[in-house]
Structures are given as C-alpha cells and as structure tokens.
C-alpha cells in the first residue's frame, strides 16, 4: 500500500484533531463512499451511471409510472450490485466512531444500506432506501429481501402479494419529493453541529448539497473527503482528495487510539 505523503498526513492529523474536539460531529456521505464496495457513482466520467444513461429517461418518477418495465430493466444491474455489496473499511470506521460517541449522526445520499450493515445506528437516508418497497396501489410496504432477491436473480418485476399492483423501491427518483422526516432531521443536525464531514459527495444535488452551508454559516468546522472538487472546498478547514477507504480509517485510528 502506498504510504501517505507528508502533506496528506498533516491533513489527516488536523482532521482527527477537529473530530476529537467536536461536541456534535456529523457526517454527510455520497456515492463516493460506496464505490470501494463495488457500487458505481453517478457522475464520474466513463464509469458514473449518468455518463451512460440519461437520468430523466431511466430514473424518473414519470418513467416509473408510465413504463415501469423500462425502469426495472435499467435498475436490475445496479440493484444486483447493491444487493451483493459489503461495507468497506470507511463504513466500518464511521460505525466505530459513532459507537465511541465521536459521531452524532450520518446523513446519507446513498440508498445501499451499507452504513447500517457496518453497524451505524443514527442514519438519515435523504434519497430513500432500497431496504423496502411500497405498493403503488394499496401502499403496503415490504422488505427487500424476498422481493428484490428474485428480481435480481431472475429479472421478475416485483408485484404486491396483497393486491397485485407493481411495487416501487422506496428510493427517490427524479421528480419525486425527498422523505420529509429525514430532511427535517438532517436540517436540524446541520444547524446544531459544530463539525460536518462531507465524504464521497460532489455536493451537486440540492437540497442535500446545501446542508454543509447551513452548518458552516452557524460556525461549524468543515472537512471534505472527496476525489473531485466541490463548491465548498474554499470554505473547508481540511480537504482530502483521497481514497475514502484509506483516509477515514486513518482519521478514526488517530481519534480513537492515539
């Protein structure tokens, strides 16, 4: 494994110092946190989902309502990757920080449940979750295990066992409102934290991208760990454009064991 440069080590130490001193630290995570687990992000050139598909054509609420089979055809490979993914070292490090009282909450744009699989408890899923599906007619909710497993392996679109209508994964599609309670909880956390750590998010999708601004406008410190620049890099105390699966465990090690 390539050792960190002296400059990166210095930034890791400063990030750990900010986290040790924080009384109410939170994390905002995006797709870049899960790419080491084999789940593609959305905007990376050549590999991101939106570099291959037009999002409004394949992942909009309108498409799901009018041509659900088109949505499910596009969604099946991604669902399989998520279904089989395992948390990486960054997920486990965040869960350990939370367990030791160093992190108060995780706000996530991800739908993959990897935070929960790693052991994190206070997770606010701002773009929905693949953990459940809801009936489009009778609105009953079902766990993903039975319905998505068959879809991933056999390609059978899931239907409601109660009324026979099509089931929709409880993820937020384009043209759909974000989950109200999760957004309200996230805004409360952002407005009351003294440190926010952005991990694996390009901060391009509103309104979630505005949460760090709410925090720093109230005096919170900001750490950004992301491969590509964000609009808030100039406001950050620390910027680490490095592999999250290496950086997060390195920061956690210094916070918990130094």
Query: What is the domain-level CATH number for residue 165?
Result: 3.30.1600.10
> What pLDDT is attached to residue 42?
55
35 and 96 co-located in one domain:
yes
Residues 31 and 92 both lie in one domain: yes
Residue 200 pLDDT exceeds 50: yes
What pLDDT score was predicted for residue 245?
95
Q: Are residues 134 and 167 in the same domain?
A: yes
Which of the following is catalytic: 91, 104, 115, 127? 127
Q: Is position 127 annotated as part of the catalytic site? A: yes
Residue position matching structure tokens 């009282």: 101
CA 57 – CA 55 distance, rounded (Å): 5
- Number of neighbouring beta carbons within 10 Å of residue 36: 18
The count of domains in the chain is: 2
Q: How confident is the model at residue 52 (pLDDT cuts 50, 70, 90)?
A: low
242 close to 8: Cβ distance less than 8 angstroms: yes
Domain CATH number, residue 35:
3.40.50.1220
pLDDT > 80? residue 132:
yes
* 195 or 59, greater pLDDT: 195
pLDDT mean across residues, the chain: 90
Last residue of a domain, one of 152, 171, 190: 171
The whole-number pLDDT of residue 145 equals 79
Q: Are residues 78 and 201 in the same domain?
A: no
> Is the confidence at residue 54, as pLDDT, over 60?
no
69 with 9, same domain? no
**In a shared domain, residues 159 and 34:** no
- Rounded CA-CA distance 236/231 in Å is 10
Residue 170 pLDDT > 90: yes
Given a cut of 60, whether residue 56 has pLDDT beyond it is no
Distance from C-alpha of 57 to C-alpha of 126, rounded to nearest angstrom: 22
Tell me the helix, strand and coil percentages in the chain, rounded to 5. 45, 15, 35
Q: Is the pLDDT of residue 30 over 50?
A: yes
| CA angle (241, 118, 190) in 5-degree steps | 60
DSSP type of residue 177: P
Q: Of 171, 203, 224, which marks where a domain is finished?
A: 171
Whole-number pLDDT of residue 101: 97
Share of the chain above pLDDT 90, in %: 70
Q: Which domain holds residue 219?
A: 1-39+87-127+177-258
Read off the pLDDT of residues 76-124 as tens digits, 9 standing for 90 and up: 888 888 888 999 999 999 999 999 999 999 999 999 999 999 999 999 9
Q: Does residue 252 share a domain with residue 199?
A: yes
Residues 1-24, mean pLDDT to the nearest whole number:
93
pLDDT at 50: 41
């Amino acid at each position: 494994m390539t050792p960190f440069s002296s400059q990166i080590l210095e930034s890791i130490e400063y990030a750990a110092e900010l986290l040790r001193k924080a009384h109410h630290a939170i994390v905002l995570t995006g797709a870049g946190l899960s790419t080491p687990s084999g789940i593609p992000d959305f905007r990376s050139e050549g590999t991101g989902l939106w570099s291959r598909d037009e999002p409004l054509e394949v992942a909009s609420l309108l498409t799901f309502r009018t041509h659900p089979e088109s949505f499910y055809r596009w969604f099946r490979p991604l669902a399989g990757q998520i279904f089989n993914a395992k948390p990486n070292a960054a997920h486990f490090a965040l869960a350990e920080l939370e367990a030791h009282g160093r992190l108060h909450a995780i706000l996530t744009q991800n739908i993959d449940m990897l935070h929960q699989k790693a052991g994190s408890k206070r997770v606010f899923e701002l773009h929905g979750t693949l953990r459940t599906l809801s009936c489009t007619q009778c609105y009953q909710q079902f766990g993903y295990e039975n319905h998505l497993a068959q879809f991933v392996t056999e390609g059978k679109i899931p239907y409601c066992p109660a009324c026979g209508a099509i089931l929709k994964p409880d993820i937020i599609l384009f043209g759909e409102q974000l989950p109200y309670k999760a957004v309200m909880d996230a805004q409360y956390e952002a407005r009351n934290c003294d440190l926010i750590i952005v991990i694996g998010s390009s901060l391009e999708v509103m309104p979630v991208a505005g949460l760090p601004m709410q925090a720093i406008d109230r005096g919170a410190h900001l750490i950004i760990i992301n491969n590509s620049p964000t609009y808030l890099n100039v406001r950050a105390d620390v910027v680490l454009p490095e592999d999250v699966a290496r950086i997060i465990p390195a920061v956690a090690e210094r916070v918990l064991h130094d």
